[in-house]
Homo-oligomer: A and B are copies of this chain.
């Protein structure tokens, strides 16, 4: 299974992956690139990943969620350069009942945010750039000091 992609993510495709005649509901979450963050204009993002480990950890998250809830799960995370409005992450959870769909979908989104080795670089309208650090406020760097490097 591949959970990371450099191509645009279709939420529909994830939904169709988990659909089936025995499923009563599908909860979906799509995370989008916003045009603002902490009051600053955002032009675009880059998601960098440690791909080999990120795939393993996504697989572990999916294995854990299906052991905790009776659901089918589809998960995709985008990497590379994204524009405002692009889908960064999509999760679909299909189950018999809505409660387990919502709970499982939300749990996967939370896990991905904190556990998968993926990093987000924000490019602001004022020309500055910062790596997002959820453990503290975003640290602004000088305007794009390294250009548009792609690593990992």
Residues of chain A whose beta carbon lies under 8 Å from any beta carbon of chain B: 11-12, 15, 19, 21-32, 34-36, 84-85, 96, 98, 101-102, 105-106, 109
Contact yes or no, A35 B22, CB < 8 A: yes
Can you show 11 pairs from A to B with CB atoms below 8 A apart?
Answer: A21-B35, A21-B85, A23-B34, A24-B31, A25-B29, A25-B31, A26-B29, A26-B32, A28-B30, A29-B101, A31-B98
Contact yes or no, B106 A29, CB < 8 A: no
Further contacts, 10 of them, CB under 8 A, given A15-B30, A22-B34, A98-B106: A21-B84, A21-B85, A23-B32, A24-B32, A24-B34, A25-B30, A26-B28, A26-B29, A28-B28, A102-B105
Of all chain B residues, the one with the shortest Cβ separation from A30 is B26
A29, A31, A109: residue with the most chain B Cβ atoms closer than 10 Å: A29
Contact yes or no, B32 A102, CB < 8 A: no
Closest CB pairs A-B (n = 8): A28-B28, A21-B35, A24-B34, A26-B30, A21-B84, A25-B31, A102-B106, A27-B29
